[in-house]
Structure 1
């Protein structure tokens, strides 16, 4: 019996692996919105996943307010660079008492779990787990700039030709610029818009999250002034700081958003 138990333990151990690049956290969000005495918490995760098989499951393994752990499923968002995909998803604590003025907000502790081909891969921040305060905005990992985008699989409504977006970046210096290079005709012509910074970025959602935050993340807004007949926009983000331009061009694909005019 002891030999069988040892064999089973070895099999279980072989089926788990700490990811080298199979799964990596891109960005997480935790904000608490409070209005008229009612609070709600927004929790969202984005992960970069190596495409090892079509059939796979990706989770944020999250510690709940009561100390138990739950797997919050993430869903396919879009293709990344060769052989990798972006997966993302949100989590709402199912405790029925977490509503109204008694809503229980909580600080995050989590890891990422990827199940494919009978193997589990983990990104647990080198064994430390990721930790994030409950009302802190974004935690940005492994990149210096990342756009906050609409669902690229569905058209975005625009009003009077205005397309609005946002970008998260690492605060590498007080002196910086953020540009958006865009085209609506397949790059026959292009334009450049400049993003703007506001330290009250999160207050529009009734959150007190600071901008920048304790993790060195900043949020910037941009507006693209497009033709009222435009049906598609492609764009990339350039973050200019310390004499270097860091690009977020959607892993070499550019961001391509179908448009609906209002």
Structure 2
């Protein structure tokens, strides 16, 4: 090395090839995170959504290797002819795309005449757009000229890519889920850092779990 001590060494390509011996580093894609609780995990609330709104997202799975999102939707069997689709956006609703769902046969051995099916299941598949970091979607159920929507109580369902630019938004969404969606956004931001927090009262520190403990307290 001929460079000064304050200058990084300029290794030649021949030297780097000799050191790495042909090994190449693969870029690991940043994982996606489901920011909401799977609706079917709370059975009572799930049934309430179906009985009152006629439609509810059931669950979703992100298949990062295939760059897709798959999931299922439950709807009330109010009529034979149904149309179910998922409306999604990756640019905060400047544009959107509708993905129509496919009916899932439950392979029931009981004949339709002997048993009335209360709910039908539909499956869907969303493609993750390249270079996208946020996917937001809701579900629509059309039947007999009426539309029924499941928008996660007006918040929509959000998938976020785990990156440094999205860490704060992920924290806020996790806090809302842990507090039953009752924690104000401004409080969540202020409680994220104890050093720079500006709180009106000590009671706002309801849980130390809201603080970042990745660095020493001093």
Instruction: Report TM bin, short chain.
Output: 0.3 to 0.5
Which structure: larger Rg? 2
The structure whose residues are more often strand, as a share, is: 1
TM-score, normalization by structure 1: 0.40
The structure whose residues are more often helix, as a share, is: 2
TM-score, normalization by structure 2: 0.47
